Amino acid sequence: MAEDLVKQHVITLLGRRRELQEAIEKRVSEHEAAGGRVVDGGQVDHDTWEVTDYRTGETLAEGSNGLNGFLELLGSHQAESWALIDPLTDDLYDDDLHVTEGLPESLCDALDDWIGSRSTSNEDVAEFVGWPVERVLEARRD
Please report, for the chain, the start and end positions of each structural domain, with discontinuous segments joined by +. Answer: 1-33+90-142, 37-80
CA–CA dist 14, 130 (Å, integer) = 13
Tell me the pTM. Answer: 0.81
Question: Length of the chain, please?
Answer: 142
CA distance 126 to 107: 19
Give per-residue pLDDT as tens, 48-99: 999 999 999 999 999 999 999 999 999 999 999 999 999 999 999 877 778 8
Q: What percent of the chain has pLDDT over 70?
A: 99
DSSP string, 71-100: HHHHTSGGGTTEEEHHHHHGGG---SPP--
Candidate from 25-29, 80-84, 137-141 with smallest mean pLDDT = 137-141
